Amino acid sequence: MASIIYFIMVEVKVFDSPTLIAKESAKLSLDILKSAIGQRGYAVWILAGGTTPLLAYKEISDKYIKDLDWRRVYFLIGDERSVAIDSPESNYRLINEALLSKVDLDRDKLILPRYSEDNISDADTYNLAVAKMFSNLGPEVDLLWLGMGEDGHTLSLFPGHQEINNQSRYVLPVNNAPKPPLERITLGLKALSEVKHCQVLASGSLKKDA
Ligand code: 6PG
C-alpha cells in the first residue's frame, strides 16, 4: 500500500497587541489568497467570528481592498450562532460589516448559513451548500481563519463535546454550547480535511493555557 506523508509547518508568532496580530494576519492572508488565485483561478477562504478576526477584516478592508480580485474568492463562514442575521450576536453580521459589504464579490461564491430558528434544519441546508461547493471544486481550502475561546474552543467545537469527533458530514448542529447562544451550527472535521493554510487568531492572556 502506498503511504502518503504530510508535512505540516506550525509557526507561533507573538505580538504586543491585537492590532499587530491583525496587521500580520491581513498581510499574510492577502498573499495566500493571491497565490491561490494565481495557481488555480480562485481561492477558498473560511471566515471566523470573534474580536481578533474582526480587527483583521478591518485591516484588509482599510488597506488591501484594491489588491485582490475578490470576485474569485469563495467565502464560507466557519460557524454561526442561531440568531437572526441582523442580530448583534451574528458572526455573519460582524464579518459582513467589516469586510464582505466592502468588497466587490461574486454572490454565487458566498456560501453562507441561513437562519430559520431551527439549527438542525439550518445545519442540513448549510451542509448541502458546502457539499455542493466541495464537489464542484474539490476539498482544498486555501485559507482557514480560526478564533479561539479561553476554554480552547474553536469554530463552535467545544472541548469535551461530541461534535469534535464527528467526521460524518461537513456541517453539524450544536446544542447546549457552553458559551451562549446555546444553539449554533459549525463546520466539522470533514470540512477541514484539506486546509492548506490555517491561521488561529487569538489574543488575551486568559487564552494562554488553551
Ligand atoms: C462564537 C465566536 C467564538 C470566538 C472565540 C474567540 O461564535 O462564539 O465566534 O467562537 O471565535 O470565542 O473570540 P474572541 O476573538 O472575541 O476572543
Q: How far is the CA of 90 from the centre of ligand 1 (A)?
A: 11
Residue 3 confidence (pLDDT): 72
Residue 76 confidence (pLDDT): 98
Q: How far is the CA of 1 from the centre of ligand 1 (A)?
A: 42
Distance CA 157, CA 35 (A): 29
Residue 58 confidence (pLDDT): 98
Atom of ligand 1 nearest to the CA of 146: 11
Residue 1 confidence (pLDDT): 57
Q: Tens-digit pLDDT profile for the chain (210 aa)?
A: 567 777 789 999 999 999 999 999 999 999 999 999 999 999 999 999 999 999 999 999 999 999 999 999 999 999 999 999 999 999 999 999 999 999 999 999 999 999 999 999 999 999 999 999 999 999 999 999 999 999 999 999 999 999 999 999 999 999 999 999 999 999 999 999 999 999 999 999 999 999
Q: Name the residue among 60, 61, 52 with its Cα closest to residue 147.
A: 52
Distance CA 31, CA 178 (A): 36
One DSSP character per residue, 146-161 reads E---TTS-BTTB-TT-
Number of CB atoms found within 10 A of residue 17's CB: 10
Q: How far is the CA of 149 from the centre of ligand 1 (A)?
A: 6
27: DSSP letter: H
User: What HEC string does 64-92 produce?
Assistant: CCCCCCHHHEEEEECEEECCCCCCCCCHH
pTM (2 d.p.) = 0.95
Write out residues with Cβ below 6 Å of ligand 1: 48-52, 79, 81, 91, 147-149, 153, 156, 179
